[in-house]
């Protein structure tokens, strides 16, 4: 057997194992309920086809020395068939264990149920099902292997069309609501939660054609610049204006639920921008960012709430209560957050990066434990928290209404966006960049490292506390359950996915990681699972994120010049991963 064949087989085994894994954690059964083309194709089937096909495509890649190791079609077919066979063997083994030996595998693996087995065997008997699975893998491998035979342009066009159809279908519930809101007939396009067959074909053709057109003129930007009278500058203005207009009308074309989700996205944009200042600009990994979110929420609650607390069987009001207005509370909250940020930051800023991360995590947990304790219950209300936080009064409008609150949140998010941009290119931003690239050299050049680190902490704290303030005003409660470590990690995931240090990245990260899972119920359950996978995958494959910040991207790729990494990238192209 040649090395290339071994590689194809290995890729097949890996992709088969991934599919089994997806089944074992329950994703496949959950995603089987989500239609891509209603009545014909479900997302779970697409997912395993993508897994098989993706690895089959990789195994058809050229070998280490640039020469085609073996015909791409054969490589793809081998990989796909091996992958299918792996899954087939798995179903046979499960069947043997349950039917012949009488073990109840389900007692251990809760996700191995009839639905999963039915999915893996296409509803046939185990042996027939296993054979069908091999066929399925073989076809998926053959098809994706054949992508190698196309020209690069054609391949890009086909992949674009397929991607558009899948994402169009996944976003169907949202798009449908939007089209309904705009009174555009869409019954021909969407059916229940998926696309119609005609819809899928239409999306494929439209996006493939658009991609083809834009490739021909060298990208969408170039295409727009070809229109007479457009220059770089006014194009940017038009795009900004369109984006603002889109954001402004969005709540009115979607329903309350989607507005609510968008409000959450806005909160995460705020939090993400705050953390981006700390992690992205100053290069300090803060894993206790939720502390500032909590500080914001609890400060606003203490300053405005009319809550009652049960202490020792008697109902009292909190030990500290001011009963002020939301807008009076906001500046006070920011001051408190800045003070706490400095107080947390000052003693630990001399620590090296990874220690700093764990210590901030510790501070976050300390704050949560204190708020939760009986000891401080008379102030913070213990596990139940503080209730009846007043909403933000705004010209007599009901700001609990998600469509109104949306504007408030996005106004503040826009403000934070503006501040971020201004800070980044300012003297402060340059000092941060210098510090993050090499602390010692920055100090030698006269940058007061401690001062700028504290400034980063304080700014991040202020922005994060704003997020917390709106969170409390939105839900009218502040309770410890909302301020777990997971929030810190979610915000970190938002920043990392978009690109560490990248401001538009935060917006995109929030939309993808916060918006999508809320809208796609089936994903919601696996949200944290997927976050974890994203954090790993991004750091390994594209550490600069989806929308890279140029300077940061350079820093993150510095290590590429080191020998170890080059060994690794050789391994990666060889497909060992």
Partner 1 sequence: MTTSSSTASRYRLFLERFPVRKFVLILLAIVIAYGAAAGSIATLQLGRFSSEVWINLFISGVARGSVYAIIALGYTLVYGILFIINFAHGEVFMAGAFTAYFVAVGLDSAGMLASSPIISIALLFLVSSVVSMTVAILLERIAYRPLRGAPRLVPLITAIGASLFLQYTFRGFYGANARAYPTIPAIQGTWNILGYDFQKVHVISILGAVALWLVLYWIVERTRVGRAMRAVGEDREIAALMGVDVDRTIVFTFAVGGALAGAAGILYVFLFNQVHFFMGFFPGIKAFTAAVLGGIGSITGAALGGLILGILETVGPNLFLDGAGVPSPNQLIPIVAFGILVLVLIFLPGGFLGAPEDKRA
**Beta bridge partners of residue 191, listed in sequence order:** 194
The 262-301 contact track toward partner 1, x by CB under 8 A, reads ---------------------x-x-x--------------
DSSP character for 483? -
Closest approach of partner 1 to the CB of residue 44, in Å: 14
Ranges within 334-353 binding partner 1 (CB under 8 A): 346-348, 351-353
Residue in 2, 354, 395, 444 binding partner 1, rule: CB under 8 A:
354
319 binds partner 1 (CB under 8 A): no
Phi/psi of residue 386, nearest 5 degrees: -105, 130
State the minimum distance, in angstroms, from the CB of residue 7 to partner 1: 17
Q: Which of 56, 392, 492, 520 binds partner 1 (CB under 8 A)?
A: 492
* Residue 419 neighbours by CB under 8 Å, 6+ apart: 459, 463
Site for partner 1 in 514-543 (CB under 8 A): 526, 528-529, 531-536, 539-540, 543
Interface with partner 1 includes 13 (CB under 8 A)? no
Contacts of partner 1 in 159-218 (CB under 8 A): none
Six-digit token string for 226: 């070809």
Q: Which alpha helices (DSSP H) does 171-255 contain, by range?
A: 172-181, 197-217, 220-226, 232-253
Strand partners, 310: 315
Distance in Å, CB of 300 to partner 1, minimum: 25
Determine, following the binding rule CB under 8 A, whether residue 17 of this chain makes contact with partner 1.
Answer: no
Helix axes 449-475, 427-437, angle to 10 degrees: 110
Complex with partner 1: residue 249 or 358, whichever CB lies closer: 358
Question: Of residues 19-78, which lie at the interface with partner 1 (CB under 8 A)?
Answer: 21, 24-27
| Tokens representing residue 181 in the block | 């809101």
Q: Which of 118, 401, 443, 555 binds partner 1 (CB under 8 A)?
A: 555
Work out the burial of residue 123: count CB atoms within 10 Å of its CB; fewer than 13 is exposed, 13-18 middle, 19 or more buried.
exposed
Q: Residues in contact with partner 1, total (CB under 8 A)?
A: 61
Distance separating alpha carbons of residues 75 and 555, to the nearest angstrom: 37
Report d(CA 376, CA 369) in Å as an integer.
10
Instruction: Return the number of the residue (233 or 561) whose C-beta is nearest partner 1.
Output: 561
Question: Is residue 546 a contact point for partner 1 (CB under 8 A)?
Answer: no
The region of 107-115, 184-192, 259-267, 501-509 touching partner 1 under the rule CB under 8 A is: 107-115
Report CA-CA distances (Å) from 432 to 436, 439, 457: 6, 9, 12
Site for partner 1 in 369-388 (CB under 8 A): 369-370, 372-375
Cα–Cα distance measured from residue 366 to residue 174, given in angstroms and rounded to the nearest whole number: 40
Q: Quote the least distance from Cβ 571 to partner 1, whole Å.
A: 8
Phi, psi torsion values for 399, nearest 5 degrees: -85, 5
The owner of tokens 């304080």 is: 458
Q: Does 362 help bind partner 1 (rule: CB under 8 A)? A: yes
Comparison of 118 and 437: residue with beta carbon closer to partner 1: 437
- Per the document, the length of the chain is 577
Report yes or no: 528 and 569 within 8 Å, Cβ to Cβ.
no
Binding to partner 1 by residue 570, rule CB under 8 A?
A: no
* Identified binder of partner 1 from the candidate list 5, 61, 111, 379, rule CB under 8 A: 111
Please, which residue, 62 or 557, has the CB nearer to partner 1?
557
Q: List CB contacts of 328: < 8 A, sequence separation 6 or more.
A: 303
Whether the Cβ atoms of residue 3 and residue 575 lie closer than 8 Å to each other: no
Distance between CA 234 and CA 496 in Å, rounded?
31
As a whole number of Å, the CA-based R_g of the chain is 27
Segment interacting with partner 1, rule: CB under 8 A, options 260-268, 439-447, 501-509, 563-571: 563-571
Sites of contact with partner 1 (CB under 8 A): 21, 24-27, 107-111, 283, 285, 287, 346-348, 351-355, 357-359, 361-363, 365-366, 369-370, 372-375, 489, 492-493, 496, 526, 528-529, 531-536, 539-540, 543, 555-556, 558-559, 562, 564-565, 568, 572, 577
């Amino acid at each position: 057997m040649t090395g290339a064949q071994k590689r194809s087989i290995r890729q097949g085994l890996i992709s088969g194992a991934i599919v089994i894994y997806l089944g074992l954690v329950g994703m496949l059964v959950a995603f089987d309920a989500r239609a891509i083309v209603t009545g014909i194709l479900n997302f779970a089937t697409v997912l395993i086809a993508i897994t098989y096909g993706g690895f089959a495509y990789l195994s058809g890649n050229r070998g280490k020395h640039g020469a085609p190791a073996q015909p791409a079609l054969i490589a793809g077919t081998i990989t796909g068939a091996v992958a299918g066979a792996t899954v087939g063997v798995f179903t046979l083994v499960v069947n043997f264990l349950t039917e012949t030996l009488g073990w109840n595998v389900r007692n251990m693996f809760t996700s191995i149920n009839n639905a999963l087995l039915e999915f893996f065997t296409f509803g046939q008997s185990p042996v027939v099902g296993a054979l069908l699975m091999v066929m399925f893998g073989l076809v998926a491998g053959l098809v994706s292997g054949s992508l190698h035979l196309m020209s690069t342009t054609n391949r890009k066009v086909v992949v674009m069309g397929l991607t558009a159809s899948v994402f169009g279908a996944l976003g169907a519930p949202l798009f449908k609501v939007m089209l309904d809101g705009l009174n555009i007939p869409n019954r021909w396009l969407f059916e229940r939660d998926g696309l119609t067959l005609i819809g899928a074909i239409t999306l494929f053709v439209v996006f493939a054609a658009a991609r083809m057109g834009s490739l021909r003129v060298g990208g969408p930007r170039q295409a727009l610049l070809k229109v007479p009278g457009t220059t770089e500058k006014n194009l940017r203005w038009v795009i900004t204006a369109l984006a603002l207009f889109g954001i402004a009308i969005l709540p009115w074309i979607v329903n309350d639920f989607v507005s609510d989700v968008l409000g959450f996205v806005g909160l995460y944009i705020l939090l993400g921008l705050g953390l981006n200042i700390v992690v992205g600009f100053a290069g300090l990994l803060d894993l206790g960012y939720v502390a500032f979110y909590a500080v914001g929420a609890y400060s606003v609650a203490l300053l405005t709430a009319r809550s009652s607390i049960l202490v020792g069987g008697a109902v009292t009001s909190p030990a500290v209560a001011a009963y002020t207005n939301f807008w009076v509370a906001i500046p006070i909250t920011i001051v408190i957050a800045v003070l706490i940020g400095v107080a947390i930051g000052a003693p630990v800023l001399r620590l090296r990066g990874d220690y700093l991360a764990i210590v901030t995590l510790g501070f976050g947990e300390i704050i949560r434990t204190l708020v939760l304790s009986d000891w401080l219950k008379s102030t913070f209300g213990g596990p139940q928290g503080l209730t009846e936080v007043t909403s933000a009064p705004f010209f007599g409008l009901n700001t609990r209404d998600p469509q109104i609150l949306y504007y408030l949140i996005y106004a503040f998010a826009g403000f934070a966006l503006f501040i971020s941009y201004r800070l980044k290119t300012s003297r402060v931003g340059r000092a941060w960049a210098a510090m993050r690239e090499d602390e010692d050299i920055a100090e030698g050049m006269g940058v007061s490292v401690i001062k700028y680190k504290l400034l980063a902490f304080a700014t991040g704290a202020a922005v994060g506390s704003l997020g917390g303030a709106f969170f409390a005003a939105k839900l009218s409660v502040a309770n410890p359950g909302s301020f777990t470590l997971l929030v810190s990690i979610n915000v970190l995931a938002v920043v990392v996915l978009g690109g560490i240090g990248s401001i538009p990245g935060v917006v995109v990260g929030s939309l993808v990681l916060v918006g999508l899972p809320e809208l796609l119920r089936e994903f919601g359950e696996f949200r944290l699972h997927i976050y974890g996978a994203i954090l790993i995958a991004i750091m390994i494959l594209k550490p600069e994120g989806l929308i890279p910040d140029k300077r940061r991207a350079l820093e993150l790729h510095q290590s590429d010049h080191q020998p170890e990494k080059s060994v690794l990238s050789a391994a990666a192209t060889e497909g060992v991963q």
